[in-house]
Structure 1
């Protein structure tokens, strides 16, 4: 059977475990994905949760609080969830590129290597013995030592400490994340050479996000095209290649299965189904006009692998109100599937969900 662009998005649903959840534990899903974008914490929890057989928001909070999964700066640069045993080797591979992207702002803010090094040493001191401090508790302690810590500078200093493998996010204190020392909370793992790391990250990406192009992997990982190609070349014998209109896509080998009709998903902002690819046009084949770039990374309604609308939530005292904006008319079967998706979200949050 000839592969179509729509088939690609259907297979991505399966590979990302949106259509066929198989994992029970958050860490197993995160490990499979390689990493899951997580700057919007609430959205990222739902992104992981709806890819599991059963999950609740409280269970995702627990997974983070117990360091079953780690939240830290690791690619592009932004926050991601990552499995503890993968933290160090992925960070060692991707951090140099992320730091290059931070140079311009660091120069604008006067954050040179000397200040960053001093900040690292102070963080190691004040977080010693498993201390958990938020950025608002850390900032004045650094400022006392003459390190500038306004909103932008403290964010960059903490990101540098994450990228250098010193700290990562710990349990939340109220609505704020704490920071902890990695070496006190994350067990050591066997190091990987750069070629080994490139190959492993490429295999994780194309297995979980495929079918995808080389450029998609480079975008997702933040690596150069040369580095990304080296990783892909090293694992091509473990992947399947498919060509559509002269363009190569790579994915895990296996028989393609048809996705059941009326498969509706309420995707989170920055969900890997969209943010995991350089271009997002294949997810918008049915729309008359592509969504604006940032809108395409927002809360989306996806029906059978295609974006068909957007949604937003409003948290009330005793329930969650969901408002849907349909960009395509709903079929009767889609309406039933949407109700199922809303019920799934209700079970995850533990709150009644009302469709406005």
Structure 2
């Protein structure tokens, strides 16, 4: 007789989310490294999201602690990896991410750029290698440099290519950013301190140490297990979407973990054995999470924590989520920072959101405003609700 699969309810998943993702006040962490460990990685496409996602989960958030981890101790590593997305991951996880996802992304980025350079500029692989060597030599000599400074030191980086030729949005950029981006994707250089505030998208480049090499299958199995530890229980589709793998690779990786099959509202899912026990309730909690926060971006199937009817207001046209307001494991609204620094919120769900919830949300808005201080941030991916609230 086949043993019945464990049914894991939405309420259990929400309770586990509040504790595992360090969103309940009692679960908050003391260091940014612990935050990144809890959620596997902080989305870093928008520079401010790294700081804001960490601040939401820290007992005493401080910009200096993030700067230490990112640029001093290098215990957090910025990588182009899952789904060709920029993440900040714990240093011990970086080799796993590199082998399981980042190498394939870097190889595609290199092939695409090499093709453009050959077709438009007539430069071959020897030119590519020589220019990389020149960039590394310049960085080792100077210690750090901006893209503009590197282009002065390595003049070939000023070469211009044509994008979308003949289209209304035709552009003729220098190859500087794409070339340095490929080197960063391959782990040869990394982003250093930003120019200006912590929210700046302009930064310096520094040399990087190569990641230890790991067998591909082992790395994928390890990443799948780490994903389930942070985001499980989850469906196969969730794992496939988050990693960016093929369905075949996803199934193979899951089969190499200790995960067992469970029943979720969406259908069959996977959970680690430790997740079969009902989680303790973390207590009431509110959170104001930034655009592209790792929690709402952690699953492909999201109905258990965000009502599909809210999508037009909370997501942009490319599927990027904007700033969200949470209450006890579900999205209930959104927020924005206005030009004067005020944090404004709007509830899109009122069912179950009473006086205590509104008070807790207001408290989180005050905490977030204190973290921002004099810094003003405009999300790179703007959503209808965020635009309206910010105006």
Whether TM-score is above 0.5 comes out as yes
Q: Is 1:345 matched up with 2:368? A: yes
Q: Is 1:178 matched up with 2:198? A: no
Please give the residue correspondences for 1:317-332 in structure 2 after superposition, counting only pairs within 5 Å. Answer: 320-329=341-350, 330-332=353-355
Structure 1 residue ranges without an equivalent (≥5): none
Task: Specify which of 129, 150, 164 is matched with residue 117 of structure 1.
Answer: 129
Residues in 1 aligned to 2:331 and 2:49: alpha-carbon distance in whole angstroms: 18
Residue pair 2:99, 2:215 contacting (<8 A) in 1 also: no
Residues in 2 aligned to 1:142 and 1:76: alpha-carbon distance in whole angstroms: 31
Structure 2 residue ranges without an equivalent (≥5): 1-5, 162-171, 377-388
The answer for the alignment partner of 2:279 in structure 1 is 256
Residue deviations 1:254-285 (CA, integer Å, cap 9, x gap): 44122423x22101110011112223332223
TM-score (norm: length of structure 1): 0.83
The answer for the alignment partner of 1:43 in structure 2 is 49
Q: CA 1:172–1:111 in 2, change beyond 3 Å: closer, same or farther?
A: farther
Deviation, 1:51, is: 1.9
Q: CA 1:325–1:173 in 2, change beyond 3 Å: closer, same or farther?
A: same
Partner SS, residue 169 of structure 1: strand
Q: CA 1:130–1:90 in 2, change beyond 3 Å: closer, same or farther?
A: farther
Residues in 1 aligned to 2:204 and 2:13: alpha-carbon distance in whole angstroms: 40
The answer for the alignment partner of 2:3 in structure 1 is none
Residue pair 2:131, 2:156 contacting (<8 A) in 1 also: no
Residue deviations 1:275-300 (CA, integer Å, cap 9, x gap): 12223332223x64533642761001
Residue deviations 1:110-137 (CA, integer Å, cap 9, x gap): 4687254344222211111462112232
Residues in 2 aligned to 1:29 and 1:65: alpha-carbon distance in whole angstroms: 17
Residues in 2 aligned to 1:78 and 1:70: alpha-carbon distance in whole angstroms: 14
Deviation, 1:182, is: 0.6
The answer for the alignment partner of 1:306 in structure 2 is 330
Residue pair 1:57, 1:349 contacting (<8 A) in 2 also: no
Deviation, 1:206, is: 0.8
Q: CA 1:56–1:289 in 2, change beyond 3 Å: closer, same or farther?
A: closer
Residues in 2 aligned to 1:207 and 1:302: alpha-carbon distance in whole angstroms: 22
The answer for the alignment partner of 2:19 in structure 1 is 14
Count, aligned residues: 344
Question: Whose radius of gyration is greater, 1 or 2?
Answer: 2
Residues in 1 aligned to 2:153 and 2:303: alpha-carbon distance in whole angstroms: 47
Partner SS, residue 121 of structure 1: helix
Task: Specify which of 176, 195, 199 is matched with residue 221 of structure 2.
Answer: 199
Q: CA 1:296–1:41 in 2, change beyond 3 Å: closer, same or farther?
A: closer
Residues in 1 aligned to 2:152 and 2:11: alpha-carbon distance in whole angstroms: 53
Deviates more, 1:137-146 or 1:126-135: 137-146
Deviation, 1:345, is: 1.7
Deviation, 1:53, is: 3.1
Q: Is 1:60 matched up with 2:66? A: yes
Residues in 1 aligned to 2:338 and 2:115: alpha-carbon distance in whole angstroms: 38
Residues in 2 aligned to 1:29 and 1:87: alpha-carbon distance in whole angstroms: 15
Partner SS, residue 127 of structure 1: helix
